[in-house]
Amino acid sequence: MQSAHSIQDYLDIVKQGIVKKFGGGKPKRVAIVGAGLAGLAAGYELKRAGHTPIILEAQQRVGGRVYTLRDPFTDGLYAEVGAMRIPRAHTLTMSYVEKFGLKTNDFTMDNLNAYHYMGGRKVRASEAAKDPSLLGFDVSEKEKGKTAGKMYEAALKPLLDLLERDGDKAWDEIIAKYDQYSTREFLELNGWSEGMIEMFGLLANQESVMNSSFLELFREDSGNYYTDMLELEGGTDRLPRAFLPELKENIRFGAKMIAMDQSPDDVTIHYQTHAGKFEEKGDYAILTIPFPVMRHVEVLKPFTRSKQRAIRQLHYDASAKILFQCKRRFWEEDDGIFGGGTMTDLPIRNLYYPDHGRETGRGVILASYTWSEDAQRWGSLKPDDRIIQALDDVAEIHPQITKEFEVGASWMWHDDEFAGGAFALFDPGQHTLLHDEIVKPEGRIHFAGEHASLYHAWIQGAFESGLRAAIAIHQSP
C-alpha cells in the first residue's frame, strides 16, 4: 500500500497547512508518542489545523534518532551520532529546512583524495579508480580493470531504464520481481565473482548489509539519495528544535509509554515519569516509536494478528559511530583531504572527514561508521575499549592521530532503549509481506516514523509518515 497522497500533497501542507489543502475538520485531541521528526511534524501540522496534540517523549530532548552530540567536545565542535546528511532529492525534508530558514552547507560524500586501505595497503581513491587491481581483490578474468561501482551501474541500468520509461508504475513490476532477492543474490544473478562482490561490499559500505533486501539499496540509488547532499549548519538537531517554539506547551518530556488501550471512542496512553504513573486520553493516537521499542509496551486491546506479526518480524539494523576530536585537521593539512570518507577492511570500516568546524582549527572525525554485524562487534566492547581499538585502526591509515587525538565518544543505536536499532531495513520479501501491515492504522491508533514509510533510515520517511497520519486523523469523524 503506497501512501494515498503524493509528495506534492505533503509539500502543499508544509506551505499552506492541512485545512487549506483538505478543508476543515472537527477539532480533536491527539496523543502522539515520540518527539522525533514524525511526531513533531504530525503535532505541528495538527496544531496548525486547529487540533490539540499532546506529545509524550520519554527522553529530555526532541529529535529521536536525530541527535547532535556536543559533549564531550570543546566549544564550537559537535558530531552527529544520528542523521548527518540530507539528500537534496528529498523535497519534503528540504521544504521544512527552507520553511524554518535553516542554513545548509554541502555534505561531501565522495572524495577521490581520500584513501582505500585494504589488505594492509593504502592507496588514494583516485588511484584505485584508475587501476582497481591495486586493491588486490580476486576478480574474474572478464572483470579485470573494472571497478565495482561501474559494474553496479551496469547491473542497475535495465531497472533504471524501466523506471525512466514507465515512471512510478514500474515499481510494482520491480517489487514483484526483485523483492525476494538480497543484494548479494542480485549481484550473483548478474554473474559477479566473489572477489568483485567483496570489492563492492567494502567500497560501497554494503558488506554487512549484503543479505538485506536488494530493494532497500535500489530505492536509494534510483532516487539519487547519495549524489547531492547537504548538512545543516550548526548540527542536524537544528531541524527538530525548529518545531519547539510552536510545540513547547504540547510536549511532555520524561514520559515513557508503558501501555496503551483503546475503546470505540478514544485511546488511552499509560505512561511513567519519575513522579509516578499517569495516563493521557485522546480521540486518536499516533505512535511514532520504533517497533523494537513497541515490543516492550503492553497493548491492552491487542492489535490484529497481522500488525503483531509486523511488529515482531520487521528487521531493524544495528549502527555504531565512534568520534574523535583532533587538535588539528591533519587530514586536510597533511593529506589534502577535504570532506568525504576513507574505506577500509579494518574494523572501523568507514572514516568520514567533517566539512564543519574549520573555523575552530580542530575537527571531530567520524573515526568509524558501521552497520549490522560490523556495528554489533563494536557494541560488544566497553566504551573506553572502543576508543582504544578505533585509535589503533585509524593510526594505520593516519599515523598522526596518536599525537592529535584529544577526546573520543561512541554511540550504539542498537543498544539505545528508545531506538532498539538504527533504522528499519527490510529482509528479502519483507516489503511484500509487511509494508502494508506496518502502515495500517489499528482502530484509532495510527503509526508513523521512518519504518512506516519506504524511506527507511531517512528523515524524509519520518516526515512523510507523520503527515500521512496527521491528514488521516484530520479527516476522521
pLDDT, one tens digit per residue, over 76-131 is 999 999 999 999 999 999 999 999 999 999 999 999 999 999 999 999 999 999 99
Contacts of 6 (CB under 8 A, 6+ apart): none
Span 195-222, pLDDT tens digits: 999 999 999 999 999 999 999 999 999 9
pLDDT at position 1 over 50 = no
Report the C-alpha gap between 208 and 374 in whole angstroms.
Answer: 6
Residue range 164-175: mean pLDDT, rounded? 95
pLDDT > 70 in the chain, percent: 99
Span 271-312, pLDDT tens digits: 999 999 999 999 999 999 999 999 999 999 999 999 999 999
- Residue 398: C-alpha distances to residues 322, 337, 358 (Å): 16, 12, 19
pLDDT at position 336 over 60 = yes
pLDDT at position 10 over 80 = yes
Give the pLDDT of residue 80: 98
Contact 185, 213 (CB under 8 A): no
pLDDT at position 2 over 60 = no
DSSP per-residue string spanning 174-201 = HHHHHTT-BHHHHHHHTT--HHHHHHHH
In this structure, the strands spanning 319-326 and 405-412 are antiparallel
Q: How many CB atoms lie within 10 A of CB 468?
A: 24
Closest CA to 425 of 188, 172, 209, 201: 209
Residue range 259-281: mean pLDDT, rounded? 98
Span 116-148, pLDDT tens digits: 999 999 999 999 999 999 999 999 999 999 999
| Per-residue cell: 12 | 502543499
| Per-residue cell: 144 | 579485470
User: How many residues in the chain?
Assistant: 477
Nearest-5° Cα angle at 246, 244 to 248: 50
Q: Is the torsion defined by CA of 44, 45, 50, 55 positive or negative?
A: negative
Give the pLDDT of residue 3: 53
Span 445-458, pLDDT tens digits: 999 999 999 999 99
Residue written as grid cell 538480497: 182
Span 348-387, pLDDT tens digits: 999 999 999 999 999 999 999 999 999 999 999 999 999 9
Contact 373, 208 (CB under 8 A): yes
Give the pLDDT of residue 4: 77
SS (H, E, C) 286-341: EECCCHHHHCCCEECCCCCHHHHHHHHHCCEECEEEEEEEECCCHHHHCCCCCCCE
| Per-residue cell: 470 | 496527521
Report the C-alpha gap between 455 and 215 in whole angstroms.
Answer: 11
Contact 409, 72 (CB under 8 A): yes
The pTM for the full model equals 0.97
Span 425-438, pLDDT tens digits: 999 999 999 999 99
User: What's the alpha-carbon Rg for the chain, to the nearest Å?
Assistant: 23
CB contact burial 180-203 (16+ within 10 A = b; e otherwise): ebbbbbbbeeeebbebbbbbbbbb
| Per-residue cell: 72 | 564531550
